[in-house]
Amino acid sequence: MKKIVFITTALLFFLTVFGQTEDSLMIKKLSDEILLNGKAYGNLHHLTKKIGGRLAGSPQMTMAEQWGEKVMKESGADKVIMQPCIVPHWVRGGEDKARTINGNRKLDVVALGNSIGNGKKGVKAEVLLVNSFDELEKKKDEVKDKIVFYNYRFNPTYIQTFRAYGEASQYRGSGPSRAAKYGAKAVIIRSMSHSTDNNPHTGATRYVDTLPKIPAVAIGLRDADWLSEELQKGKLSVEIITNGQFLDSATGHNVIGELTGSEFPNEIITVGGHLDSWDNCEGAHDDGAGCVQTMEILRVFKAVGYKPKRTIRFVLFANEENGLRGGNKYAEEAKAKNEKHIFALESDAGGFTPRAFGFTMTDEQFQKVIQWKPLIAPYGCSEFNRGGGGADIGPLRRALGTTALAGLSPDSQRYFDIHHARNDVFENVNKRELELGAVNMAALIYLIDKYGL
Amino acid sequence: MKKIVFITTALLFFLTVFGQTEDSLMIKKLSDEILLNGKAYGNLHHLTKKIGGRLAGSPQMTMAEQWGEKVMKESGADKVIMQPCIVPHWVRGGEDKARTINGNRKLDVVALGNSIGNGKKGVKAEVLLVNSFDELEKKKDEVKDKIVFYNYRFNPTYIQTFRAYGEASQYRGSGPSRAAKYGAKAVIIRSMSHSTDNNPHTGATRYVDTLPKIPAVAIGLRDADWLSEELQKGKLSVEIITNGQFLDSATGHNVIGELTGSEFPNEIITVGGHLDSWDNCEGAHDDGAGCVQTMEILRVFKAVGYKPKRTIRFVLFANEENGLRGGNKYAEEAKAKNEKHIFALESDAGGFTPRAFGFTMTDEQFQKVIQWKPLIAPYGCSEFNRGGGGADIGPLRRALGTTALAGLSPDSQRYFDIHHARNDVFENVNKRELELGAVNMAALIYLIDKYGL
């Protein structure tokens, strides 16, 4: 008996060591191929410089989809599916402007996504400064006919910048309607950032349908500081001109490249990012990076001759920024076809140095996954955390109940310097950092494909 | 007896928990102060934009020292010591130029530090391409009267970029003399970088005294690729003009701010960076970052009212880049005065997001230090590794034998994009990343001061 136990233990040990060595060699191979011959950076250059900002419904959206289809094919997908979905079609409609009425000082602003402008007529009104929703409530009797200026400061003391974003973004989301409820004519929102420049940061707002849809802009941080100081000295009026409107909905597409599984073709693994971006920038980090990393994983699997056991879908989601129609459609179809989606990974937090993966899955699954950490950590993701995923893959888990999710967490310190602002451009993406994100993602997808979940 | 054991255990547990809570609160306080009211970024702006590149012996060196003394005083040092040391005084002496003789194509080059030029006369010769020292040895009979072009590629497959630098930098250090040995007239060295631009990267070379001191330049990566391709097609000659020379040695100073210990004033803890930089850039990351982080720790200790038990010295070392005279002098004086230096920490790997500390110390000391990891990890340094320190603090351990060392390891992916190149400027330093480095360093110094080593 003792002998059998000994032999079994020795065999298990041998298999584990052998498996680990094989995996570690394969991951090194994937890494070397990406770092030596990677196409992600060149692809990002095309997407940002030849196509540019690509909001749902725009001509650039269509160009980006066609380009994505082409790159998926070139990267070696067994098939490429263009999955149609209806997307909102919001347009900025012209240049966003703001100035002080006395002094005619120009303020650097950008209309919030989904906000409705009133064109040349504009809004002229006294500005009411509030630093929080609590302060809005206290001053609610003063709001009528004013422009409410939410000067909520992005909290610099949080080390994880997404925590600051989580708190600040409620002002962008519900600030306009909460001010409209008390009769405000427009709102100005301090940009969700701790950058040192004055670029304003856009992003989606959500009007409450029963309240007036008032114009809403974000303002750069330097101008926000100036405005706040002036308002503490005395009264000040501002003119805002924005032209946002919704046109008829359009048809967008999730671009889906597929490698069909050799052993378990019905078990589906998804990896993706979103193809749309705001119109005021190139969407290089958000989320061009996630898209080109996704296609790079497809390319590298083919380049090193890795044949997946399970079906892997490489997805450029159609519409994350102002509607989530891409992710919703993908989940809807998966449910309708009764597909078995075991895992989905998203990269939508910028193309910076990878530091962690966040997992939303069962304890049992996490216990399995965390054993792979020593294999991946040398490439950057040295932390495996509970909780995480991505906006576009969230609907899949909600629809099917069982799909395990993960999100890539790159270093977050620079992300809100460029997020939804005019400086989210190709030049602010570092080639190696972008590639290392793809390396870590490729390693994780490889392990999940090989061992299942 | 059981009761005593129980009480002792309970007491130890209480003290540990209480100690950890107190420490975690203090570290949060240090972090908040740095992230809310930090002066490091503003100080770096002054150093880089008002003073600029500050090679040993230059007028900017003297300006930087005087400025350092002033900031140390303003930051609340108990005393500031200007420790003199003799430094080399190498000057570039003019614009470095290179061009192809047929075609007159300009090549973007920079003379290596310490290299000797021959002015207007220049060097005109055929170029011999070698990709490694091995290849040089094989081609040694062809070297005479040629310009040797070391096209050794910075290895992109290493995840830790300092590893690639370690391998590549031998060509800069000993390449010129190894080529001179076989009669070369000059050398061109591929820049030690994997950047996507064409900026050439300087750095110190070391001539062998018994061999001719031939001109030596580094060339930008795009030009290196072009030159290498052309040389594979056929012969090509280049003209190089450089003007480097040594003037009489000068007197520089280590700028030392001190907080005198309240309980163990004779136990000294050192934290520092080096004040000198190459002349072809602003030395923002290398090592303006380390200098302003060092002074920020002094400032934050005073700002939160922390009174160290041990003596803490905040040191801006005089001369790292081309002589190490600052670090050597500091160690020499410590030995001569029989000082007890328990620990030294250096930041000289850029002002990027902090990821790790590397420690050179006894096993026993490391076992103590690693217990603090949970306190520091939330601020970025989630890895505590064996091995590490810094060029300027190395001599201290060599001189005294017992001083434990540590080096801050920030994310290294972007470092060699800017290292010793004209784009090592203020604009390429991110405020939060710089500040977080100071946060992690302050936390470590606080713990070592409080608990000793």
B44 touches chain A (CB under 8 A): no
Among B157, B413, B433, beta carbon nearest to A433: B413
Structure tokens at A358: 């966040």
Question: In the structure encoding, which two tokens stand for residue A286, read together?
Answer: 């958000």
Residue A68's Cβ-side half-sphere holds a number of Cα atoms within 13 Å equal to: 36
Report angle CA B240, B246, B250 to the nearest 5 degrees: 150
Bridge-based pairing state of the strands B123-130 and B147-150: parallel
B32 inside 8 A of chain A by CB: yes
Structure tokens at A394: 């969230």
Q: Is B33 on the interface with A (CB under 8 A)?
A: no
Chain B neighbors of A196, CB-CB under 8 A: 41, 431
Q: Please give the residue of chain B at the shortest CA–CA distance from A412.
A: B353
CB B149 within 8 A of CB B127: yes
Contact B431 A196 (CB under 8 A): yes
Identity of the residue numbered A21:
T
- Give the three-state DSSP class for B80: strand
d(CA B382, CA B357): 8
B350 part of contact set with chain A, CB < 8 Å: no
| Contact between B411 and A414 using a beta-carbon 8 Å cutoff | no
Q: Which chain B residue lies closest to A355 (C-alpha atoms)?
A: B355
Quote the pTM value: 0.95
* Gap from A156 CA to chain B (nearest CA, Å): 6
8 Å CB contact of B413 and A196? no
The answer to whether A32 contacts chain B (CB < 8 Å) is yes
User: DSSP labels for B235-289?
Assistant: --EEEEE---EEEEEEEEEEEEEEE--SSEEEEEEEEEEE----TTS--IIIIIH
- B380 and A32 in contact by Cβ < 8 A? no
Q: What structural domains does chain B harbor?
A: 24-89+248-451 (3.40.630.10), 96-245 (3.50.30.30)
Is A406 strand, coil or helix?
A: strand
Shortest CA distance from B29: residue in chain A: A157
Residues B417, A430: C-beta atoms closer than 8 Å: yes
What's the token pair of residue B36?
A: 């809310």
CA distance A57 to A65: 11
Task: Output phi, psi for A310, to 5 deg.
Answer: -105, 165
B446, B310 contact by CB (below 8 A): no
Calpha distance A438→A383 (Å, rounded):
16
- Put simply, whether A95 touches B (Cβ < 8 Å) is no
Over residues B4-30, the pLDDT tens digits come to 555 555 555 555 555 669 999 999 999
Place of tokens 């990890």: B377
Q: What is the DSSP letter of B106?
A: B
Please, which residues 246-265 of chain A have a Cβ atom closer than 8 Å to chain B? none
Neighbours of B329 (CB within 10 A): 22
Tally of residues, chain B: 453
Residues of chain A with pLDDT under 70: 1-20
Amino acid at A98: A
CB contact under 8 Å between B431 and A383, yes or no, is no
**Nearest Cβ partner for A157 among B35, B413, B431:** B35
For residue A260, count other CB atoms closer than 10 A to its CB: 14
The whole-angstrom distance between B323's CA and the closest CA on chain A is 32
* Residue A332: predicted pLDDT: 98
Q: Give the span between the Cα atoms of B1 and B268, in whole angstroms.
A: 41
A10: tokens are 């020795």
**Residue B414 contacts A, CB cutoff 8 Å:** yes
**Lookup result for tokens 């784009």:** B423
CB A123 within 8 A of CB A244: no
Q: Are A289 and A433 in contact (CB under 8 A)?
A: no
Q: Yes or no: say if B239 and B148 are a contact pair by the CB < 8 Å rule.
A: no
* CA nearest neighbour of A437 among A114, A38, A99: A38
Query: What is the structure's pLDDT at A322?
Result: 95
B411 touches chain A (CB under 8 A): yes
Q: Which of B41, B413, B431 sits opposite A353 (nearest CB)?
A: B413
Give Dmax over CA atoms of chain A in angstroms: 93
For the record, the structure tokens of A418 come out as 């460029």
> Inter-chain contact B35–A379, Cβ cutoff 8 Å?
no
> Which residue of B lies nearest to A157 if distances are taken between CA atoms?
B32
Single out the residue of A349, A360, A362 nearest to residue A411, CA to CA: A349
Q: How many beta-carbon contacts under 8 Å exist across A and B?
A: 60
| Residue-averaged pLDDT of chain B | 96
Strands (E), B151-235: 186-190, 216-219
Residue in B157, B382, B430 nearest the CB of A31: B157
Joined together, the tokens standing for residue B3 give 């009761």
Contact A84/B at CB under 8 A: no
- Closest-CA residue in chain A for B411? A353
HEC string of A263-312? CEEEEEEEEEEECCCCCCCCCHHHHHHHHHHHHHHHHHHHHCCCCCCEEE
Identify the segments of chain B with pLDDT beneath 70: 1-20
Alpha-carbon distance of A18 to A31, in angstroms, equals: 20
Listed by number, the residues of chain B in 418-447 with a beta carbon closer than 8 Å to a beta carbon of chain A are: 430-433, 436
Structure tokens at A49: 């410089």
